[in-house]
Structure 1
Amino acid sequence: MAIAHRYPLVVATVACLLAVGVLLATGAQSAAQWAASLFALFVAARLAVGMVRAVAGGRWGIDLLAITAVVSTVAVGEYIASLIIVLMLSGGKALEDYAQGRAQRELTALLDLAPQTAHREVPGGTIENVAVDEVQPGDVLVVRPSEVVPVDGLLASEFASLDESTLTGESLPVERTAGDPVLSGSINGETAVRMKATAAAGDSQYSRIVALVREASASRAPVVRLADRYAVPFTVFALLLAGAAWWVSGEPRRFAEVLVVATPCPLLIAAPVAFVGGMSRAAKAGIIIKNGGTLERLSRVKTVAFDKTGTLTGGRPMLAEIRLAGNPPRFHENELLSLAASAEQYSSHVLASSVMMEAERRGILLQPAAQASETATQGVQAAFSGHTVSVGKYAFVGQQATSMEKAALSSGQLAVYVAVDGVYAGALVMRDEVRPEAVSTLERLRQMGALDTLMLTGDARETAEHVAAEVGIDQLRAECTPTDKVEMVRMIPGRPVMMVGDGVNDAPVLAAADIGVAMGARGSTAASETADVVIMLDDLSKVADSVEIGRRSVHVALQSIWVGMILSIGLMVAAFLGYIPAIAGALLQEFVDLVTIINALRSLSAPHRTARGRGFQPEAVPSKAMP
């Protein structure tokens, strides 16, 4: 009953075929022909109404071929062929649904896993089941064996084994201990655990992923519209060839035989399936691509721009040393660190958390400020304990302090400058290691056509130059504000431009780029929302993977379109020459549909290569002088 409700025309066509078969078996050929012909013409009339509406809406499709094929087969007495064409057209929707479902399997799996209820502890130790939307930060929850963690939180039990494969693509379970963060969407192991919610359901990691997946599932790719445009010349060619077959042979039956094999369902089905398959493959790899248009742009990337901290580097700077200013210094090391960390608690910069973590590690208590203000990406100024403390970049602190000295830095180091009461007090030298996969990622991007690479960073030039040289960046723009980054991306001549970043300050430039890629494992919600691609793993190589998936999806989509058209044209030529009867042609066209859809599903898999990187040969990329 479900199939009949969802695909009534398919069921009606099959019933008509069975009825026609019974009539033919009983010798009622005339009744069989009338029944089949009237049913086929009824379907053709329905298609004609839809075609007129589509043309009125400015969209030309291939319905004209289908209508003409049905009418012509009825006219020449090939009523069985007309029913097969109707079955092919009505069954095309069921075939498309199956192929789309197969292609969307990974995307659908993420949506199906979304938790609906949570087990909340109440005073007295009892458990109540509540809707996941009712969970609030601070609630203590129980997650039973094999259940999905409903919201983000901290583990309250001593130990937990969690499957985070739906979030990160990592198939092996991860182990967490008391106090460790647990992400919504993780699947608990074999033992029930307790956790303390740190976010409501709508603000949790899994809800963000689900929202991105729903957006991706609803998209329609430019290459699908391109397939619609192919339909116009294909229709004209098929009608001309069918007319020529009639004129050359003198048989109107030949006209019908050509049109029977000219119904290109692959144009309607194959391209969308290839794109949904590409997005599904990306989701399985921990990459959420929000729409099909992004896949198409990824396939043509010419320039890639990167933020530095947290993108090309690990984003977890550690204190290497404290360099005190003055002879003798005004403060001891821990005193300077205490002042700097107390000010940095009012900053959103990634380095601020590193400074505070080092103070906590040394057992230093942070002091509350009477007044504090932050200049985005530059630094923070705070007043407490009778002191005014400025912490940040050299230029920022230099505007408010005397006797400034620039710290000598080696590769991978950066400095946080500190001034107290308008006098330079010293620098905290931090070290942020370059990601181990950064060099290979840039090499792969160049191999796939991205010949220009840039670094756009707010950090000091000395620090940025070390990182750019280490990973092989072509061009560098340092000491940028968020506005500077937006303007620079807009002026880049090599399009499309892909921008990769991870922080709140990257959100404007991610939105301005042709393709914004957010490193979403630790990145901000703002960056993830404005980006076109969100990488859920803390792995820069996924940037290159996303480009590879885009290239393969477009290649498979276009290949499927052309395979379908070439096979149809070959069959049309054979029908033109009189080698394919109408019934055989209708069956062969169904075979063409299957071939092209199976080919489109190849976008779900990676290209066969015997080794990582093999199959692409690096091109020589001339080095550009850093400005």
Structure 2
Amino acid sequence: MARPLALVRRYPLVCATVLVGLLGLVLALVGAADVVRWLFSGFGLAAALIASVGMLRQLFRGSFGVDLLAIIAIVATVLVGEYVATLLIVLMLAGGEALEDFAAGRAARELDALLKRAPQIAHRLDAASKEAIDVPATEVRVGDLLLVRPAEVVPVDGKLRSDSAVFDESSLTGESLPVERTAGEGVLSGSINGQLAATIVATATAANSQYQHIIALVEEASQSKAPVVRLADRYAVPFTAGALALAGLAWMLSNDPVRFAEVLVVATPCPLLLAAPVAFMGGMSRAARNGIIVKGAGVLEALSRAQTVVFDKTGTLTYGTPTITEMRPEAGFSADELLTLAASAEQYSSHVLAASVIAAAHERGLELHTADSASEAATFGVEARFGAGVVRIGKLSFINEGTADATATHLVGGELAMYIAVDDRFAGSIVASDRVRENARQTVVDLARLGVRENLMLTGDARGTAQHVASKAGIVHVRADCLPSDKVDAVRALTRRPVIMVGDGVNDAPVLAVADVGIAMGAKGSTAASESADVVILLDDISRTVRAVRIGKDTVQVALQSIWLGIILSVVLMVVAAFGLIPATAGAISQEIVDLVTIVNALRAIGGRRDIAAARVASVASGGSEKADRPVHPVIDRPV
């Protein structure tokens, strides 16, 4: 009972029209045809009056009311006695909004799923009894130990305490395969636990967790009107003028006022109103399913026309986390010995390079030593004592404080070095670099194929490093040594627009905001970057930039196709009606069919088949197996 009442409250005019139609049918069966005529005509005029009020409000807001044709058609059918057509036109007008609402609801279900699955309850483990106590997710504090039962939604961001666990992150990242996490790795709120219970340590409150941040982005993404939708509104003026002219001409040549009503019945511009909004909602839904949050329908339109792309370097074209590329031991030390000593000392450092050195040692299966004591000179290096020996690792200047024979090693663009000394004897150096993403060059090529042919890299790094990364990524233009304000000025000066800016850090937030389309690599990026951007990519995958542009182009193409499909079908029906071949009642039914055809066509923007086909192509290209797109969780960087 609650559902029918909700429908009545949501669509009162639709329900009233259906009830009036049923009542008229009953009256017609008992022979009260005159009563039916007055009932339908009076109801139609009342509906026309309501629509006129709405149209006048639109006019006061500076928007032409496209319901004018429907209002004139209602009045005309009443005057010529086509009262059944009157009721059908009212149903068409009232049903248009309901159809749009239904279509938009279907198109947005991937976005709505995020909101519906917001975690409400957390199971906090009592420190003493180890019993799970249910508390509201909003009461979880950083450091709380939480139990996540099988198939439950993770309530807040945290680090895994269990040895390992499997999570479904598809609603957050678009990755369809389960993701395995091990102890100490980050777990995103909103992901779904697998078949075994897991324990996590909360690293953020519910309000500051990834899930709530995505929900805020989704809510912002649901309300906008793209330029192409406003363009559809502007079609109403010539469409209305043409329809009235054709209806008047048909009346004049036939000398039959019924012909005027018949033409206007099939000229109701519902397809014009429905096509673009439904298509853009479908495009936003498709983007969300692909791990891309688009903050507005207008963003899709700008993506479809983009001509220039600007990239940040660190964390965007590169991975943003240095990896060990080479060990350069001095005489008396092997590469494994050098790495073992370095990693043993780096266990006591908080520097981002420490994690890289330790990870490299673990990959080689090296056993690390426990220090008797250790101290860190922030940003310079670490000194650790192992029994009678002392290991120092860090900058060359830090090593040279007690080691006279340490010398700088040769580096190329994008590389950096850590120097190691053992008991004041220079032991060698370890080279690390922030690797360029494997798909960076292909991303630039694919964007050019989609029409985004101009490219530029903006970075605060030195020119040598910038040029090295740019050459590997296929970037033509480079500006190095940039402050955030320099990046803003550079983007504003670009002439081939719209401009896409892709970045991930706090320093990218201003330039993301001033670009025509700012794209934040949200999986690794800062909250500031994500909030300033128009598009947030939830995966650590720069190639999703290409997918965002392709979705924008597909969406605009479907929207325009649907608009013109509705216009052409309506014009064909108007011409046929002008010759008196479509009675008013049949014309009203035909126009309803045109509405449905237009909406179904616009729903193609959801793009399920397109994505499946793209996935198959990618699978074949990769030898039948696709790599999982897993978000990489960053460590806070600081200067070496």
For this structure pair, what is the TM-score category when the shorter chain's length is used for normalisation? 0.7 to 0.9
Candidates 187, 191, 197, aligned match of 2:202: 197
Residue 48 of structure 1: CA displacement?
1.0
Change (3 A) 1:160 1:549: same
Residue 191 of structure 1: CA displacement?
2.0
Checking the alignment, whether the CA contact within 8 Å between 1:344 and 1:356 is kept in structure 2 is no
Question: What is the number of residues matched between the two proteins?
Answer: 579
Range 254-263 or range 515-524, more displaced: 515-524
Match of 1:83 in 2: 87
Residues 551-571 of structure 1 deviation map (CA, whole Å, 9 limit, x = unaligned)? 111111111111111111111
Match of 1:222 in 2: 227
Checking the alignment, whether the CA contact within 8 Å between 2:340 and 2:361 is kept in structure 1 is no
Question: Pairwise mapping of residues 119-268 of structure 1 onto structure 2 (< 5 A)?
Answer: 119-122=123-126, 123-268=128-273
Candidates 100, 104, 109, aligned match of 2:104: 100
1:39 aligns with 2:47: no
Question: Pairwise mapping of residues 354-373 of structure 1 onto structure 2 (< 5 A)?
Answer: 354=356, 367=375
Checking the alignment, whether the CA contact within 8 Å between 1:316 and 1:432 is kept in structure 2 is yes
Candidates 474, 482, 503, aligned match of 2:476: 474
Q: Give the residue type in structure 2 aligned to 1:203.
A: N
Residue 467 of structure 1: CA displacement?
2.2
Change (3 A) 1:226 1:178: same
Residues 289-319 of structure 1 deviation map (CA, whole Å, 9 limit, x = unaligned)? 1111111110011111111222112222123
Candidates 273, 276, 284, aligned match of 2:281: 276
Inter-partner Cα distance in structure 1 for 2:167 and 2:435: 29
Change (3 A) 1:324 1:21: same
Change (3 A) 1:139 1:383: closer
Match of 2:461 in 1: 459
Where 1:185 maps in the other structure, the secondary structure is coil
Match of 2:601 in 1: 599
Inter-partner Cα distance in structure 1 for 2:356 and 2:382: 21
Match of 1:511 in 2: 513
Residue 585 of structure 1: CA displacement?
0.4
Residues 501-521 of structure 1 deviation map (CA, whole Å, 9 limit, x = unaligned)? 112222222122111111111
The alignment's TM-score, normalised by the length of structure 1, stands at 0.85
Question: Pairwise mapping of residues 504-543 of structure 1 onto structure 2 (< 5 A)?
Answer: 504-543=506-545
Inter-partner Cα distance in structure 1 for 2:37 and 2:12: 22
Checking the alignment, whether the CA contact within 8 Å between 1:151 and 1:200 is kept in structure 2 is yes
Q: Give the residue type in structure 2 aligned to 1:126.
A: E
Checking the alignment, whether the CA contact within 8 Å between 1:415 and 1:427 is kept in structure 2 is no
Where 2:305 maps in the other structure, the secondary structure is coil
Inter-partner Cα distance in structure 2 for 1:392 and 1:577: 88
Inter-partner Cα distance in structure 2 for 1:345 and 1:192: 31
Q: Give the residue type in structure 2 aligned to 1:95.
A: L
1:439 aligns with 2:434: no
Where 1:430 maps in the other structure, the secondary structure is strand
Range 213-222 or range 65-74, more displaced: 213-222
Match of 2:568 in 1: 566
Residue 229 of structure 1: CA displacement?
1.1
Residue 537 of structure 1: CA displacement?
0.8
Inter-partner Cα distance in structure 2 for 1:94 and 1:54: 19
Residue 145 of structure 1: CA displacement?
1.5
Checking the alignment, whether the CA contact within 8 Å between 2:409 and 2:429 is kept in structure 1 is yes
Match of 2:623 in 1: none
Residues 44-87 of structure 1 deviation map (CA, whole Å, 9 limit, x = unaligned)? 11111111111112111211111101110011000000000111
Inter-partner Cα distance in structure 2 for 1:575 and 1:352: 78
Match of 2:587 in 1: 585
Inter-partner Cα distance in structure 2 for 1:294 and 1:116: 32
Residue 455 of structure 1: CA displacement?
1.4
Change (3 A) 1:342 1:184: closer
Where 1:179 maps in the other structure, the secondary structure is coil
Residue 416 of structure 1: CA displacement?
5.8
Match of 2:320 in 1: 315
Q: Once the two structures are aligned, what percentage of the paired residues are identical?
A: 56
Match of 1:111 in 2: 115
Q: Over aligned residues, Cα RMSD in angstroms? A: 3.4
Structure 2 stretches lacking a partner, 5+ long: 331-336, 385-391, 398-405, 420-425, 619-640
Match of 2:633 in 1: none
Inter-partner Cα distance in structure 2 for 1:366 and 1:67: 83
Q: Give the residue type in structure 1 aligned to 2:489.
A: E
Inter-partner Cα distance in structure 1 for 2:174 and 2:340: 44
Checking the alignment, whether the CA contact within 8 Å between 1:458 and 1:479 is kept in structure 2 is yes
Inter-partner Cα distance in structure 1 for 2:34 and 2:531: 64
Inter-partner Cα distance in structure 2 for 1:343 and 1:322: 20
Inter-partner Cα distance in structure 1 for 2:617 and 2:455: 22
Question: Pairwise mapping of residues 340-419 of structure 1 onto structure 2 (< 5 A)?
Answer: 354=356, 367=375, 408-410=410-412, 413-415=414-416
Structure 1 stretches lacking a partner, 5+ long: 326-331, 373-379, 395-403, 419-424, 614-627
